[in-house]
Structure 1
Amino acid sequence: MRYNRAPIGFTLLTMNDKTGTMAQALQEIHDFLPCVTPQRWIDNALANQDLMLIDHAHCEKKAASTALSLMYRYVNNFDLLNKMSRLAREELRHFEQVLAIITKRGVEYCHLTPARYAACLRAAVRIDDPGRLVDVMVVGAIIEARSCERFAALVPFLDEELADFYSSLLKSEARHYRDYLALAEKANGGPVAARVEEFTAIEKQLILEPDNEFRFHSGPVG
């Protein structure tokens, strides 16, 4: 079964966005990312919602773990420590919320093999600092931006409970994207457009090329 893709503006009609703040944030993310999520991935997600929720829970847990790891590595970077501390708390709260939905729906939470997405992006990260920190922050910004874009793309097609939940995540995901990008620019001492261009070129391939198994950050399957 195929579902017609709603434009991002239609998604905004499902949210209380009287000030237009969310519309602006989503447009910024749309401009930052190299492509939109393919329709075929949307179809995959809607046909595999239990799997999507399980992998989403894993993604939230991994995001919190990444933030904590960065806090341990960069102990003298107070801006990073504050931003990552808040991010880790929010991601773990999101994990709890997804887990509650999974439990309510009678879905068995289980281990999943990860998508190739994050590993392929991180493979291009430089080894030594400050380049390493810049690249890790750019990768974090891309992952958060893509998560936000996919939540927004899915909202019009989901049941009310899940649509409301995914809508509620957009604001924090957009802020996480901005926090990572700001930390990248600070570590670089200026704009990071060249690194963003390099990593988004990799990301575009990962999003558009077919994958063997469906995951929240996979390419289309089938």
Structure 2
Amino acid sequence: MSVISSSEVSSLLQPINAFLHSETPQAWIDEARKEENLRILLTDHLICELKAAQSAMYLLRRYVADEQTSKVLLGWLKPYEDFTYRHEGDWQSLNTKHLSKNVFNVEGLDPFKKDMLDKMVMLIKEELHHFYQVLEIMYELGFDYKSVTSSRYANGLLKHVRTYEPEKLVDKLICGAYIEARSCERFAKLAPHVSEALGKFYVSLLRSEARHFEDYLTLAAEISPVDISERVAHFGAVEKTLIQSHDDTFRFHSGSPVAA
């Protein structure tokens, strides 16, 4: 795992911080740095990586794939979902080497769908690889995988998504941008407060995932019939409220802890 300089961290964070409407509250950081919360933090982070892959997979199945390819895509995720939700299978056998956009028939795809295909397949591969890496860290720390409930964060964003197309797709893409940006901001916030090895891992994730939010925004702007600035601002305000308001459940994307 390569070392990343503080100047590179600052450079990667600059567009992310400019996009987000608020910083992570100090109260969340104080809660996250407690040793007794590390297992919950890693477990929820693990599940978030899978959910990010699932969200990208939904977009491909809904807007790009035919029925046959859709079944192949579901097969990509099944071992990860079996392990996470049904506690089946051996996590050490998981790999992303078989994930390829070659399963798609790109003949006749319009430029937008081709762009979505390229961006989402790469995102899925990266998120599932990071899922595996988090499991490795948990194994090294002696943490058995046990499910945790989800935070209110993602649903709090998605309930504002419009119900008609293409506006529904535009909103989902903007939500994806905020989720990815917040994840990167939290990687950077966590890094100084955990072990050196875990801190390096979080910074490496920042480097790997820093472009994801921009990929989502690019797709949203491409498919929207109008300028997306108003919707971006709307979801930015919603996201800020979710992050700053009190939250009685501590999770990777939770708000300010009630106990604080």
More deviation in 44-53 or 188-197?
188-197
Deviates more, 1:75-84 or 1:140-149: 75-84
TM-score computed with the length of structure 2 as normaliser = 0.77
TM-superposition CA deviations, 1:112-145 (whole Å, max 9, x none): 1110000010000011111011101100000000
Q: Amino acid of the residue matched to residue 108 of structure 1?
A: D
Deviation for aligned residue 1:91: 0.1
Query: Is it true that 1:91 corresponds to 2:138 in the alignment?
Result: no
Aligned mates of 1:21, 1:105 — CA distance in 2: 28
SS in structure 2 opposite 1:142? helix
- The letter of the residue matching 1:96 is Y
Q: Which residues of 2 match residues 15-164 of structure 1 at below 5 A?
A: 15-16=4-5, 22-47=9-34, 48-75=37-64, 76=109, 77-164=113-200
Counterpart contact for 2:176–2:216, Cα < 8 Å: yes
For 1:171 and 1:132, the matched residues in 2 are separated by: 30
| Structure 1 counterpart of 2:92 | none
Q: For the aligned residues, what is the CA RMSD?
A: 1.4
Identity score, percent:
48
Query: Partner of 2:82 in structure 1?
Result: none
Letter in 2 for 1:65: Q
- Residue 3 of structure 1 corresponds to none
The ranges of structure 1 where at least 4 consecutive aligned residues each deviate by more than 6 angstroms after the TM superposition are: none
Equivalenced residue count is 207
C-alpha separation in 2, matches of 1:189 and 1:164 = 41
Match of 1:214 in 2: 250
- For normalisation by structure 1, the TM-score amounts to 0.89
Counterpart position of 1:8:
none
Deviations 1:62-114 (A, max 9, x none): 11111111110111511111110000000000000000001111112111111
Query: By how many angstroms is 1:153 displaced?
Result: 0.9
User: Which protein shows a greater Rg?
Assistant: 2
Q: Is the 8 A contact 1:63 1:91 kept in 2?
A: yes
User: How many Å separate the matches in 2 of 1:189 and 1:161?
Assistant: 46
Structure 2, unmatched stretches of 5+, are 65-108
Report the AA paired with residue 140 of structure 2. K
2:218 is the counterpart of 1:182:
yes
> d(CA) in 2 for partners of 1:69 and 1:98?
23
Whether the 8 Å CA contact 2:157–2:175 is kept in 1: the answer is yes
Maintained 8 Å contact 2:27/2:256: yes
